[in-house]
Each structure stands twice: as C-alpha cells, then as structure tokens.
Structure 1
C-alpha cells in the first residue's frame, strides 16, 4: 500500500490523461473523485493538496504533491523511461515535445477557466457571457488549427512512438468545441487521436473513465 499514488481527478476531466498514463506504466493508484466544476464541496476535497482547488493533483507514494496536468504527465513519463512515453533529454524530439506539452495548457486548457464561469471576467451580463462563450470556442479551434499547421505526425504526433502528448491531445480534443470541429480544424492530427482512442491497452480505461457515448464527437 505504501507504493500507491493518489490522483485527485474526475471522469472526463484533465486528470484523464494522467490516469491513462498511470495505467500504461503499470503503477498502482487510487482516485479521489472530485469534479470541481460542480461546486465548493468538490473543490474543498482538493484544497488540502492544491490550494487552487483544481484537478488534477497527484500525490506520490513518498507524499510529494504535483499539480498541473502537463507537469504531472512529463514527470511520470520521465520518471519511468521503460514505458517510452516521453522523448529523452538527448532525443531530437524533446524540444517539440516540451513545446506542445506547454502549449496545450497555456493556449487551450486555459480557455476553460473562462468558459466554466464567464462571470469571473464579465460579471452577470448575459450578453457578455454569451460572447465570451463563443469567442473561447473560436479561440480553442484556432489553437488546434495552428498546432496542426506546425507539426507533421507519423503514427503519432511526434513520429512513430506514442508519448503522453498524444494522450493529452486525445483527451483535450474531446472537450468543447468537440471532435467534429477538431477534425475539421486539425486534419493532420485527426488520425492520431483516433488511433489513441482505439488503443487496445486503453479500451477498458476509456469505457470506465471517458466513454464513447452516442454523440460524443459533437
């Protein structure tokens, strides 16, 4: 029991790629389910390990706390090189790996803080809130389009080997504006995320934690 990781997260959330990585590496973990977007009670579950009261947060078997999805994914992959889920420091793919692992939370993920509660920025004006909702959708789509124009995937985003970047994009691209728009904006990455969706090693995981229900693509 002393070697168990604790993941604060929720089904279908930003903790999904972290949980998928834990499974692929073969690490023992437990999940503290905390869908923080549902209110203060859920946010309070996370407060002890992350004062921002946000998920994901990972507690290592040694008691160290790691927050921020990109940081957790990079750390897990680098700490378990046998799983081959990140390019090594001397790998020519490393710079682009770090570039895009940073791009997703900075450019895409950040939009959801605004979308979840537009009143944080524009108060109670319903027209302003509606404008924020539409502009953030368009901004996310623009970010996917730009990323697609800057990479040349192989079987996976950085070549022939899958990395945690593929898991990160496969999950984030399922959020608003959802996959149909993603496929249109990022046709070069579309086949990669479909390939990640179909990984036999994650079939049970997707069914449990982010199922492909009717209409999931948008």
Structure 2
C-alpha cells in the first residue's frame, strides 16, 4: 500500500515541469496549459537577469533560457513556438491549432515561426547588445533600432492577415496566445495597436478571455 509521500512523488513525476517567469514568453505556454486544463509545476526564474535562474534551467536547456518544458517522461522541449505547437497538436479536441488536413495549417505554421524568428528572437539582443558586437554605450540606440524593426514586423504581419474573430478564423489558437503575449514586449502594446489595427480587436478579445483573465493579471500585473 502506497503512503501519501509516494503518491505525491508519483503525481509530481506525471506533471509537466515548466521553467518560466512573469512577464516573459513562457506566459503563452502557461496560457495554453490553462486552456487545456493540464496541471504543471512552475519553476520561476528570470533567466535574462539572474545567473541563479540560468543555472537552475541549465540541466534541461543548454542555452539556459525560458520557456523550457519537461514532459512527464523526461523529454525536454524548448523554443516557445515549438512548445505551443506541440501542446496544441497533442490535444486536437481543444482546437488550439489547425489539424494537418486543415487548409489553415500552412498559415498557422508560417505565422507561429514568424512571430518566433522575426519578432520574439530580437528581444534576445536587448539585455546584452554585445551579443551582436555592439559596444555597451550603444545600447540605447540598438534597443531603439530593435523596437523599430519589431514595429515593422508587426505592421507587415498585420497587412497580410485577414482576421475574423481570431487571427486565423473563428477558433482561438495558440497563435492568438503567442501574439497576445509577445505584443506586450517592447515597443509595447500602444505601438502594437498603432501598427497592427487589424489584429488589435483579436488581441483585445484574447485579453478578455474569461478563462485567462486571472492568468494575465497575475503574470502581467502592469498591464
């Protein structure tokens, strides 16, 4: 007969383990898990400012970055877009991604990786502009240039999408969650609204999603 401690250990082993932080890209993964009703254990740590947080995730992710998701069997997933696509595809009943046979699948993948590579990845430069060979004294100019590029990318995406209730149609997908999170980063939401008028009503709708409002308020307390 199992004792309560053994039961607790088994439950922990069966849970997803997410390394993340408030105000970061990991919140999109938290949002997806919330909609899926998947329990998870969160290891909190701002890896972009804390060496302790970087060391904590290093055993699972050599880049020492978040989000990093450890599946119950021990498999590690990194890269926010990959995590979101995997979770959505693993739960087709939730309709958080177009299926393989869905005509919208191609555009879903296109825009998921666009947000990841053309926009989110640029934020990696900002904590240490030396990563691109710029001197520390040029940080302000570099960050401004990064923000201008991000604004251009949002504008370009907005010009090519024809949103309905959500970005790809009438079903909320992890693309909506992804944009709702990444659009909160520099150059901040007001600039996003100005550059992406077609996407703005969708993202405001995602902000007001009843199942996620508590999460947004907790993980983005400053709005």
Question: 1:169: Cα distance to partner?
Answer: 0.1
**Matching of residues 35-184 of structure 1 within 5 Å:** 35-126=46-137, 128-184=138-194
Aligned residues between the structures: 212
Q: Which residue of 1 aligns with 2:23?
A: 12
Larger-gyration structure (1/2)? 2
- 1:8 touches 1:58 (CA, 8 Å); kept in 2? yes
Say whether residues 1:31 and 2:35 are aligned partners: no
**8 Å contact from structure 1 (residues 122, 129) kept in 2:** no
Structure 2 counterpart of 1:196: 206
2:128–2:136: 8 Å Cα contact kept in structure 1?
no
d(CA) in 1 for partners of 2:114, 2:134? 28
Deviations 1:85-135 (A, max 9, x none): 000000010000000000011100111111121122234351x32221111
Cα root mean square deviation, aligned: 1.1
Where structure 2 has 5 or more consecutive residues not aligned to the other structure, the ranges are 1-10
User: Structure 1 unaligned runs (5+)?
Assistant: none
The list of structure 1 runs, each at least 4 consecutive aligned residues, that deviate by more than 6 angstroms after superposition, is none
SS at match of 2:126: helix
